[in-house]
Amino acid sequence: MSSLPDSVSVSDNPVHPEFTPKGAPIQLGVLEQMDPEAMLRWALDQYGARAGIITSFQDTGCVLVDMMSRHAPGMRVITIDTLRLHPETLSHIDAIVKRYGLNLERFTPDPDALERMVRTHGEYLFFDSKAKQEYCCSVRKVEPNRRALATLDVWFTGLRRDQSTFRAVTPRAQWIKVDNRSILKLAPLADWPESRVLEYIREHGIPRNPLLEQGYKSIGCVICTTPVLPHEPARAGRWRWFNALGQEDKKECGIHIHGSGI
């Protein structure tokens, strides 16, 4: 079973809005060159409540939220709560919400789909096969994310190219198609190395998820996320039991897979 709703793809049909709702031209090449702060300002100014950050409050997402608070205050901030997050993650989210006074929007799995999945396959279906892991991610993450995207025309994400080989080609600006609608997906920090993110976090005193101090590098759900050893890539701790499949670079929950690209 695929984790991807069929209707989410990188558009192969180049029919996109050419102008923002306020009439400014939309040029991916220009956005690619914009600094992150300017990108946030531009999106809020041009799209208002149709622009938002979707974040799981890992380091890069927290940097984006911090930048937003300084340069585009009031922009919407959304998180996907899979209902299987670590207590440390939930406390960290609360700390960030409090620090920045966020009106955080939480999208959770559809209760009926969740109940059906657990009744049919059990709570721990992700151990059984890659297909069942993808099914679980589609119910707990991808579908709520898709519902969140239905409320946006501009999606800010904290993806970075050095997070995995799969993410190495992440554009800073791209069009994706969701439910037959074009959405501008912006990853303003895509070209930032981890060292720059950490420097920003230190400089601005931004709280970090306490799991990072325990050896976690990439944080998702309980059980599906484990700490990594110093020599391991960041995402080796995600769905560790699939590492033997030799598809380390393909370990994604599906939120950032759009057709054949990222």
Q: What angle (nearest 5°) sits at the alpha carbon of residue 64, between those of residues 58 and 68?
A: 140
**Contact status: 80 vs ligand SF4 (CB under 6 A):** no
Which residues are paired to 221 by β-bridges?
Answer: 85
Residue 47 or 126: the one with the smaller Cβ distance to ligand SF4 is 126
State yes or no: residue 86 binds ligand SF4 (CB under 6 A): no
- Nearest residue to 67 via CA among 51, 87, 53: 53
242 binds ligand SF4 (CB under 6 A): no
In eight-state DSSP terms, residue 169 is: T
Measured in degrees and rounded to the nearest 5, phi and psi for residue 52 equal: -165, 160
To ligand SF4, the closest distance from the beta carbon of 82 in angstroms equals 5
Count of CB atoms situated within 10 Å of the CB of 35: 11
> If binding is defined by CB under 6 A, does position 224 make contact with ligand SF4?
yes
Question: Which residue lies nearer to ligand SF4 by CB, 57 or 126?
Answer: 126
| Segment interacting with ligand SF4 (CB under 6 A) among 15-23, 30-38, 51-59, 133-141 | 133-141
- Selected binder of ligand SF4 within 50, 71, 84, 208 (CB under 6 A): 84
Report if residue 141 touches ligand SF4, rule: CB under 6 A. yes
253 is catalytic: yes
Count the residues of the shown chain that bind ligand SF4, applying the rule CB under 6 A.
12
Integer-rounded Cα radius of gyration of the chain? 18
Residues between 6 and 65 with contacts to ligand SF4, criterion CB under 6 A: none
Strand partners for 9: 177
Looking at the DSSP bridge assignments, the partners of residue 238 are 225
Please say whether the beta carbons of 128 and 212 come within 8 A: no
**Cβ distance to ligand SF4 smaller for residue 140 or 258:** 140
- Please say whether the beta carbons of 243 and 224 come within 8 A: no
The reply on whether position 256 binds ligand SF4 by CB under 6 A is: no
Binding interface with ligand SF4 (CB under 6 A): 82, 84, 126, 133, 136-137, 140-141, 220-221, 224, 253
